[in-house]
Structure 1
Amino acid sequence: MNNQQNRNLNKLVKIALLSAIAVVLMYFDFVIPFIPFAWLKIDLSDVPALMGAFAFGPIAGVVIELLKNLLILVVKGSETMLVGQLANFIVGCALVVPAAWVYHTNKSKKTAILGMILGTICIEIVGILANIYILLPAFGMGNMPKDELIKYVTIGLLPLNGLKAILVSVITYILYKRVSVSIFQVDSNFNKVEKRKLKSI
């Protein structure tokens, strides 16, 4: 097995591991007391996805988001006729992809923070649009009266997705800085210069 194959195998193993961790985290979802919609819950399964996207690029983040939702279907099933898993995937990608894309333009603390800010903005916009045009209709709530829809968006989706993005971003920033070097040291083809760059994240 050549060096490139070793790198690809290591990458796949790490993506699979992060996906498995994300599935475990999906079991620990919780409601926000001040949000009056019981079905709107937060979990931290986007943390492994964002870490993987920072490490390997936006596509890896999308793969982790996809795998975790497929795996949770296998081990737990769906109580929402797949709507919950679709929502989790769409909203997760809305946060992870922009954040990783900005970060990979020039890896630094600044681009990581800017990327997560952009991801937070995107999760808010995409979350609203996806709910109005895809998720609510799929769940049989497409005819929600306008005033109820506005209430759902303003005191439900906006605070929920905003809080989720902040929690995921802060936890990822703290953890990724500490574990990135150990993750990449597994691959001996990373030279000392690259490792110094990783330590400066």
Structure 2
Amino acid sequence: MYNQATTKKNLFTTSVLVKISILSVISYLIMFIEFPIVFAPGFLKLDFSDIPAIIGGFALGPVAGIFIELIKNLLHFITKTDTGGVGEIANFLIGGAFVFISSGIYHLGKNKKNAIIGCLIGTIGMSIVGALANQYLLIPFYANMFPIDAIVQMGTVVNKNIVDVKTLIYYGVVPFNIFKGIVMSVVTAILYKKVSCIIK
């Protein structure tokens, strides 16, 4: 069973800290590779930078996964941000939700069933957090630079049902994060067994 006290103790060993650092840097570098999705508004792009954090969370525990997400976004904020930290906060909240939920459930009993359940619930959690982060952080930030109608129009181009901020979130942001959660779950399933023996 998952032991929180033991996990906290083990988190600060030199070996684990080195692994967290390496996975954080890998995650940060992957963050620069983005792919547009045909059904998503233009400001939403898919990247795989959460994968190292998910794998780290599965192998080392959910707290380690959260640290990887945090360090990744701190590095991006220091070197590359164009949102004054708003994008990094949103990325941390959204990615962190998936990592913490999925790896937390997996560590309740390390088996395929818990891994699948964790990824499914993690996807739902990420979609909810993503909707809230876009509504209260990202969209208000971009609204300071562009008319809100222009932001909504980016969604209307790919989905005629998007006519305002509310429908932009329902028909643009939420489906995107569900799709992203599914993709991350599949990629993690493919990679985890191959790399977990190195990380553990």
TM-score norm. by structure 2 comes to 0.81
What are the within-5 Å matches in structure 2 for residues 113-132 of structure 1?
Answer: 113-132=116-135
Match of 1:151 in 2: 167
1:179 aligns with 2:195: yes
| CA apart distance, 1:134 | 3.1
Match of 2:38 in 1: 33
How far apart, in 1, do the equivalents of 2:136 and 2:199 lie?
A: 39
- SS for the counterpart of 1:105 is coil
Match of 1:53 in 2: 57
Runs of 5+ consecutive residues of structure 1 not aligned to the other structure: 185-201
- SS for the counterpart of 1:63 is helix
How far apart, in 2, do the equivalents of 1:152 and 1:27 lie?
A: 25
Root mean square deviation of aligned Cα: 2.3
How far apart, in 2, do the equivalents of 1:41 and 1:87 lie?
A: 14
- SS for the counterpart of 2:84 is coil
| CA apart distance, 1:33 | 1.7
Match of 1:18 in 2: 23
**C-alpha distance after superposition, 1:123-164 (max 9, x if no partner):** 1111112222333234436x9589411331133102211111
Aligned structure 1 segments of 4 or more residues deviating by more than 3 angstroms: 138-141, 143-147
**C-alpha distance after superposition, 1:12-54 (max 9, x if no partner):** 000000001101110101111222x211111100000001111
Match of 1:195 in 2: none
Runs of 5+ consecutive residues of structure 2 not aligned to the other structure: 1-8, 150-161
How far apart, in 1, do the equivalents of 2:198 and 2:34 lie?
A: 28
How far apart, in 1, do the equivalents of 2:141 and 2:165 lie?
A: 15
Conserved 8 A contact 2:50-2:95: yes
Conserved 8 A contact 1:57-1:104: yes
1:163 aligns with 2:168: no
Match of 2:107 in 1: 104
Conserved 8 A contact 2:90-2:137: no
Instruction: Count the aligned residue pairs.
Output: 178
Moved more, 143-152 or 39-48: 143-152
